[in-house]
Structure 1
Amino acid sequence: MVATAVWGFVTGVAMIKSGLTAFEASAMTLLVYAGSAQLTALPLIESHAPLWLIFVAGFVVNIRFIIFGAALQPFFRYLSLPKRFLLGFMTTDMAFVLFMSRYGDSSERNSREHLWYTLGVVIPGWISWQFASLLGVYMGAYVPTSWSLDFAAILALMAVLIPLVSTAPMWACLCTAGAIAWVGQLLPLRLGLVAAVIGGVVAGVAAEQLKAKRARRLS
């Protein structure tokens, strides 16, 4: 929640600094609720990029949620479609990681415990994000640039992310995405971030398949 709040505050400040009004920024944080997509969209909005490009960039950055949804579907398929949509809307990266770490290997499905555990993670995360993001929206004009909040947010997220990277496919995904993002800084319209997401996913899937093949050979 600390990392989520810091990231939310930085996103709120970034929306105001990019020229959005307080109403537009508030609506964006409440309706989009996706920090990476919001930060990807902001420079495109500021440069008056075509609407389709803004949506495509946001879609690519958040394409990982298709994988999250497919992995979570067996646990929540008993819920109605609107409830699953709402749960998917509120699910975050950290919520997915925490849920799969706890229940990913469980053979039990359609358990109420799964739902209550997920809600216990996503609701506090949603509240902390919205509170911090709206605080950034309405106080962003008073935050000096010298505070380097972007770097503070990165450190907060790294403190959460690094302990979770415990397997070779995770390391492959992390290192590939990081390398592409660093090189991709030269690309316009935040395309380096989009390339990093795609490259990281491909590297992680390839490493996972290679690991499975080696396991089958040994067995």
Structure 2
Amino acid sequence: MLGFRDAVPALIAIGTWGLVTGVAIVKSGISETLATLMTLLVYAGSAQLTALPLINEGMPLWLIFAAGLVVNIRFLIFGAALQPYFRHLSWPRRLGVGFFSSDIGFVLFMGRYGESRERGNPLHLWYFLGIIGPGWLVWNALSILGIYLAAVIPASWSLEFAGVLALLSVVIPLVSTRPMAVCMLAAGCVAYIGQGLPLRLGLAAAVVAGIVAGVLSERLARKVRRK
């Protein structure tokens, strides 16, 4: 399957971050049982990591929920971009696709079909499922592994740094056009500047900045080509 083939390199990054998240959840004081349940029901590593300190500090549920929404607001943008490709599906199926969607899935899908004018092709769905299905399995498997091995994994392993390297190995090959490079540069700069913002707002701002910069760069490139 084409989607799975394209996803194989990304599975290393997904698995690494899943392991990091699983370890972080347990080391925050949550029991292994609750951590496993959280991993299976909340398929969002950034939201989980954002919620952990709020849970530990006894913050109200509405604030924890709101923080998770802010961090994951990027999926609203992803969903709007993917909607033309999957709008022919029923609501239950679209909700299912939405639940299993991921950052890597969106990036790989748009990298292959973002410039295509064809919409609603069954191959689009199968390609996307070939990415997000294995991604969900790998994420949960490694997250649960991290949960139950957290006590024996030393901090000296620097799993967070390994996760960053794994993600870079996936993202860098995707920078094949000027708009994509502008998108990555803008997102990286905003993420760096906004890393001190509360509730991981810097992440949400970086996503918005990257998308806006990429769209504007693409429009500018089209105008130049027309001239």
TM-score by length of 2: 0.85
Matched, 1:212 2:219: yes
Match runs of 1:1-219 below 5 Å: 1-187=11-197, 189=198, 191=199, 193-202=200-209, 204-206=211-213, 208-209=215-216, 211-213=218-220, 215-216=222-223, 219=227
Name stretches of at least 5 consecutive residues in structure 2 with no aligned partner. Answer: 1-10
* C-alpha deviation, 1:199, in angstroms: 4.0
- Aligned CA RMSD, in angstroms, stands at 2.2
Partners in 2 of 1:210 and 1:111 — Cα distance?
28
Count of residue pairs the alignment pairs up: 216
Partners in 2 of 1:27 and 1:166 — Cα distance?
39
Partners in 2 of 1:164 and 1:82 — Cα distance?
31
Partners in 2 of 1:62 and 1:112 — Cα distance?
27
1:152–1:24 distance in 2 versus 1, CA, 3 Å: same
Q: 165-174 or 111-120, which moves further after superposition?
A: 165-174
Counterpart residue identity of residue 13, structure 1: V
Percent identity between the two aligned chains: 54
Name stretches of at least 5 consecutive residues in structure 1 with no aligned partner. Answer: none
- Answer whether contact 2:86 2:94 (CA < 8 A) is retained: yes
TM-score by length of 1: 0.87
Counterpart residue identity of residue 68, structure 1: F
- Answer whether contact 1:77 1:110 (CA < 8 A) is retained: yes
- Answer whether contact 1:176 1:199 (CA < 8 A) is retained: yes
Superposed CA offset, 1:137-178 (max 9, x none): 111111111111111111111111122233444444433443
1:22–1:67 distance in 2 versus 1, CA, 3 Å: same
Partners in 2 of 1:84 and 1:36 — Cα distance?
22
